[in-house]
Amino acid sequence: MILASSDTTSVTLIWAFSLLLNHKEALKKAQQELHFHVGQHRPLRESDLKNLPYLNAIIKETLRLYPAGPLAVPHEAMDDCIVSGYFIPKGTQLLLNLYKIHRDPRVWPIASEFRPERFLTTHKGIDVRGQNFELIPFGSGRRMCPGISLALQVTGLALGSLIHAFDVVTPGDEAVDMEEAIGLTNMKVSPLEVLVKPRVPEHIYQ
């Protein structure tokens, strides 16, 4: 469980930062939100996360576009059923293509674009905890990821702390390559390389 959670959390953080570096207006909005709610004289705390809707929208949009496990975990049909006209017999092993579900243009306008604002407006009521089947990066039902709460807290705290404490740019201010590797975990082909510099007082880093 520790290996699975650390792997998927790090992958999500890499994709989130890659998306923000390619969409600097979203990065600036996140920094402004953190400056307003947290300020420049203390570190981000876990209790702050509930007051950071734009940061949470960034995480949701990252999980929508780049779910850490794009095929989810295998499930088994418990009964005979028909889905979209296809007969699925009891005992069939099922793999959900989350990548396809999360980019369905019938549900997500301009589905391939990074738009965190959709989770503050048109898709405000959609969550990632398995109740909205158009967005299920952690699965759904009795066998959904048991570490969902921890994953969201760690991802929010880590991403928010980095955005709050550092100005981050790519070498030469070049765009980040978003090519994906093939595998059970949704990794980037090329590693993310960045340059960082402090943006808060020195005592925050101690």
**Which residues are annotated as part of the binding site for heme?**
145
Strands (E), the chain: 75-76, 81-83, 86-88, 93-94, 166-169, 195-198
Phi/psi of residue 131, nearest 5 degrees: -95, -20
Non-local (6+) Cβ contacts of 186 within 8 A are 11, 15, 66, 67, 68, 69, 70, 99, 180
Distance CA 198, CA 205 (A): 9
Instruction: State residue 114 phi and psi, 5-degree precision.
Output: -80, 110
| Residue 14 Cα to chain centre, angstroms | 9
Assign 168 to helix, strand or coil. Answer: strand
Q: Which amino acid is at 116?
A: P
Binding-site residue set: 145
Name the token pair of 171: 């070498």
Distance CA 157, CA 116 (A): 18
